[in-house]
Amino acid sequence: MPQEPIHVVVTGAAGQIAYSLLYMIAKGDVFGPNQTLVLRLLDIPPMMGVLEGVVMELADCALPLLREVIPTADPVVAFKDVSAAFLVGAMPRKEGMERKDLLAANVKIFKVQGEALDKHAKKDVKVLVVGNPANTNALICSKYAPSIPKENFTAMTRLDQNRAQAQIAAKVGVPIENVSNVIIWGNHSSTQFPDASHAVVVVDNKSVPAVEAVKDGEWLRNVFVSTVQKRGAAVIAARKMSSAMSAAKAAADHMRDWFLGTPDNKFVSMGVLSDGSYGAPKDVVFSFPVNIKNGKWQIVQGLQNDDFAKGLLALTGKELEEERADAISIIGA
């Protein structure tokens, strides 16, 4: 039996990431095969013509779960009664652009969206920030939505996790689903720490630590880390545009796990409000390994990090503190 429709907002809905993401959401990849939906699509006024085309295409997909599509340039309409928010719309990073420039443009957008969520969304709305710099945008957004719990604001590092998983699977020569528990620590930026030291790989039907399966510590500390950190830039250099299809898939993965839960003994990476676990700074949105049950995430505790890992965690934590300071000075909060 199809359930009552839930309202889902996607911002930047006329853009590249949304073009892949909307189909995944509407066909049931995120909220399950029986969950009907109303899609609320937000973009800026000059994009309304393009958005009209996206709405036509969604109609032409003839998707049984999709009950209604509401295109709008008005945040009040976009955020009304939503249970899930994909905040994709942001000023995109262009080649050679510094993160600080990006932050200045985006902080204002996420302030407005936080205020709209606060007034119009359901109080248990799950918010995923995809638009960069995602961690700090999520923090700003939560500050302007004081009536919504802070833990309901997350930033996407699932794309980095998926990238890391793919690198290890290729290195060992196993299917992607044979690799689990790769962690992305910290910021969704080039300071992030992709960490395979707690990962598990299934080789010949046996679960072994990734370190054992890869058999190349030097590669794991250098090539692997640097490839994942710089993958976004490599895609921009090749495509002349930032990652879109892979970002959409990662956003769908993140929200699906948040709604439907993670399997026992498996964890995923999400940017969440830091409580200081693993020495991370508090009150920044920091990517941790999490387990999810009944729609609630919890940071996985008790993992042992060596000095190499601690050094990289400190570095990405420092960048997030600097971003927070810059963001707060921009909005004068």
Which residues are annotated binding-site positions for NAD(+)?
A: 43, 106, 130-132
- Within 10 angstroms of residue 180's Cβ, the number of other Cβ atoms is 21
Active site residue 198: no
- Furthest CA-CA distance within the chain: 57
Please give the sequence-ordered ranges of beta strands (E in DSSP) within the chain, or none if there are none. Answer: 3-11, 35-42, 66-72, 82-87, 126-129, 153-155, 179-180, 183-185, 193-195, 200-203, 206-209, 268-273, 285-293, 296-299
CA dihedral 212, 218, 220, 223 (to 10 degrees): -150
The two structure tokens encoding residue 137: 């945008």
Strand partners, 286: 272
10 Å CB burial of residue 120 (0-12, 13-18, 19+) is: middle
- Rounded to an integer, what is the distance from CA 104 to the centroid of its chain? 20
Q: Please, what's the b/e burial string for 255-279 (b: 16 or more CB within 10 A of its CB; e: otherwise)?
A: bbbbbeebeeeebbbbbbbbeeebe
Binding residue numbers: 43, 93, 99, 106, 130-132, 163
CB of 83 closer than 8 Å to CB of 37? no
What is the phi-psi region of residue 332: left when phi exceeds 0, alpha when psi lies from -120 to 50, beta otherwise? left
Catalytic one of 7, 188, 198, 254: 188
A 10 A CB-CB count for 243 gives: 19
Is it true that the peptide bond before 133 is cis, omega within 30 degrees of 0?
yes
Enumerate the known binding-site residues for substrate. 93, 99, 132, 163
Could you tell me if 143 and 167 are in contact, meaning their C-beta atoms sit under 8 angstroms apart? no
Identify the sign of the CA torsion 298, 304, 305, 307.
positive
Active site residues: 188
